[in-house]
Chains A and B, each alone.
Chain A
């Protein structure tokens, strides 16, 4: 079953605009990760935020985490056509047996128009 729900399911923006997508989850977590997937390809790790962190930056990416609301957001600033992809949040829940398996949301499909 999918732990996370992402919102919106799809997003269409002009190049240069910012893109924001949100993720909600249900259980306690060790960390939350964001991945990008281009059509027909595997997932590329973007950023990992630990449960005791509130905000993290990496280049044009900004991730926030609110564990009290069980939600996270990913902001892509100054978007480019190459940012067109599906973006997934994934949670890593505390479990001795799980070996840090990830539980993914349904993804946000982002289209950046040139």
Chain B
């Protein structure tokens, strides 16, 4: 079990640029989640995949955000035309899909800073 891996750990970019983050979940986990966390707050749900299907998106996920999980393994989260308010920690988590009551395993996140 190598855990959930996220890349990059830190990203600094200028406002208006596009950024893409990658998440590699635990290999046998078919559920994958993206959360966003701002300083001093708890994480907020962004989107959820079961295998390759994106089954739910939060209203927080504006049309500048897109997430994919093309083969049901790794996932990418892209933010287009970044804004100051996008500065946050982006966390990925995965879990087993066998019924409910399964804990989620989190990666160490990608910290995004918009200049």
In the complex, the answer to whether A101 meets B56 with C-beta atoms within 8 Å is yes
In the complex, the answer to whether A43 meets B44 with C-beta atoms within 8 Å is no
User: Size band of the B side of the interface?
Assistant: 20 to 34
Contact for A98 among B4, B48, B102, B104, CB less than 8 A: B48
Q: Mark A79-114, 1 if CB is under 8 A from B, else 0.
A: 000000000101010000111111111110000000
Stretch binding the partner chain, chosen from A44-52, A59-67, A68-76: A44-52
Residues of chain A contacted by B56 (CB below 8 angstroms): 97-99, 101
How many cross-chain pairs have Cβ atoms below 8 Å apart between A and B? 74
Chain B min CB distance to A108 (Å): 10
CB contact under 8 A between A42 and B4, given known A2-B42, A97-B56, A99-B31: yes
User: Size band of the A side of the interface?
Assistant: 20 to 34
Chain A min CB distance to B44 (Å): 7
Chain A min CB distance to B29 (Å): 12
Query: Is there a chain A Cβ closer than 8 Å to B103's Cβ?
Result: yes
CB within 8 Å of A: which B86-100 residues? 91, 93, 95, 100
In the complex, the answer to whether B33 meets A101 with C-beta atoms within 8 Å is yes
B: residues with CB less than 8 A from A are: 4, 6, 31, 33, 35, 40-45, 48, 50, 55-56, 91, 93, 95, 100-109, 111
